[in-house]
A and B are shown apart, each in its own frame.
Chain A
Amino acid sequence: MPKVLIVDDSSFMRMAIKSVLEKNGYEIVGEAENGVMGVHMYKELKPDIVTMDITMPVMTGIDAVKSIMKYDPNAKIVMLSAMGQEDMVMESILAGAKTFIVKPLKYDYLLDIIKKLI
Chain B
Amino acid sequence: MSDNYINEPMLEIYLFETTSNIQNLESLVLRSETNSSFTQDSINEIFRILHTIKGSSSMMLYDGISSVAHSIEDLFYYIREKKDVNFEFDVLSELIFNFIDFAKVEIEKIKCGDLVDGDSTHLINDVKDFLNQLIQLNPSKEEVIIPTSNTKQQYYIQQGNKDSTSQEMINTPMNYYKTVITFEDGCEMENIRAYTIVHNLNDITQELFHFPQELFDNEESVTTIRERGFILYIKTDKHYEEMYEIVNKSMFLKELEFTQLEEESEFEWGRGCKTLETPEIKIPEIDNRVEAVVERDTGSVQSIISVNVTKLDKLMDLVGEMVIAEAMVTQNPDLKGLELENFQKASRQLRKITSELQDTVMSIRMIPMANTFNKMQRVVRDMSKKLCKEIKLEILGEETEVDKNIIEHISDPIMHLVRNAIDHGIESSEERVLSNKPKKGTVTLEAKNVGSDVLVMIKDDGRGLNKNKILQKARDHGLIWKKEDEMTDKEIYNLIFLPGFSTKEGVSEYSGRGVGMDVVLKNIDEVGGSASIESIEGVGSTITLKIPLTLAIIEGMNIKVGNARYTLPTTAIKQSFRPKESEIIIDPNGNEMIMVRGQCYPILRLHSHFGVNTKINNLSEGILIMIDQDERSICIFADGLIGHQQVVVKSLPNYIRKTNNVQGLAGCTLLGDGSISLILDIGGLINAS
Residues of chain A within 8 A (CB-CB) of B586 are none
Q: CB-defined interface of A81-118 with B at 8 Å, one 1/0 digit per residue?
A: 11111111111011000111111111111001100100
**Does B252 interact with chain A (Cβ within 8 Å)?**
yes
Choose one: A60, A81, A86, A101; the contact of B290 (CB below 8 Å).
A60
Whether the pair A84, B147 counts as a contact (CB closer than 8 A) is yes
Q: Which of B10, B193, B218, B251 has the most CB of A within 10 A?
A: B251
Across-interface contacts of B259 in A (CB, < 8 A): none
Query: How many B residues touch the partner, as a band?
Result: 35 or more
**Does A2 lie at the interface of the complex (its beta carbon under 8 Å from any beta carbon of B)?**
no
Interface string of B667-679 (1 = CB under 8 A from A): 0000000000000
**Smallest beta-carbon distance B398→chain A, Å:** 25
Q: Is the CB of B286 within 8 A of A88?
A: yes
Contact A105 B10 (CB under 8 A): no
Cβ-defined contact, B286 with A106, below 8 A: no
Contacts of B199 in A (CB 8 A): 93-94
Q: How does the 8 Å CB contact mask read for B334-373 relative to A, with 1 for contact and 0 for none? A: 0000000000000000000000000000000000000000
A70 nearest CB across to chain B (Å) = 18
* B322 CB to nearest chain A CB (Å): 33
* In the complex, residue of chain B having the shortest beta-carbon distance to the beta carbon of A89: B192
- Tell me, in angstroms, the Cα distance from A86 to B217 when the chains sit together: 11
Q: Is there an interface contact between B55 and A19, defined as CB atoms closer than 8 Å?
A: no
Does B59 lie within 8 Å of A105, measured CB to CB?
yes
Instruction: State the CA gap A89–B193 with chains docked (Å).
Output: 10
Q: Does A45 touch B at the CB level, under 8 Å?
A: no
Nearest CB in chain B to that of A23: its residue: B5
Q: Is B153 an interface residue (CB 8 A)?
A: yes
Contact with A along B11-35 (1 / 0, CB 8 A): 0011011100000000000000000
Give chain A residues whose Cβ lies under 8 Å from the Cβ of B151: 84, 86
Q: A19-B7, A102-B187 are in contact. Are A58 and B48 (CB under 8 A)?
A: no
Q: How far is the CA of A32 from the CA of B13 in the complex (A)?
A: 16
Which residues on A sit within 8 Å (CB–CB) of B263? none
0 or 1 for each of B284-304: is its CB under 8 Å from A? (1 = yes): 101001110110011100000
Contact B195 A90, beta carbon cutoff 8 Å:
yes
Q: Are A93 and B192 in contact (CB under 8 A)?
A: yes
Closest approach, in angstroms, between the C-beta of B220 and any C-beta of chain A? 14
Contact between chains at B2 and A103 (CB < 8 Å): no
Q: For the complex, what is the distance from the CA of A96 to the CA of B646, rounded to whole Å? A: 63
A112 to chain B, nearest CB (A): 7
Q: Which residues of A contact B (CB under 8 A)?
A: 9-13, 15-16, 19-20, 34, 36-37, 55-60, 62-63, 81-91, 93-94, 98-109, 112-113, 116
Closest 10 CB pairs of A and B: A84-B147, A36-B299, A102-B188, A12-B56, A99-B251, A12-B17, A104-B58, A57-B294, A15-B13, A104-B59
19 new A-B contacts, CB < 8 A, other than A10-B56, A109-B252, are A11-B13, A12-B13, A12-B14, A12-B18, A12-B52, A15-B10, A55-B291, A56-B291, A58-B298, A58-B299, A82-B51, A83-B149, A86-B191, A87-B153, A88-B286, A93-B196, A100-B193, A101-B187, A116-B251
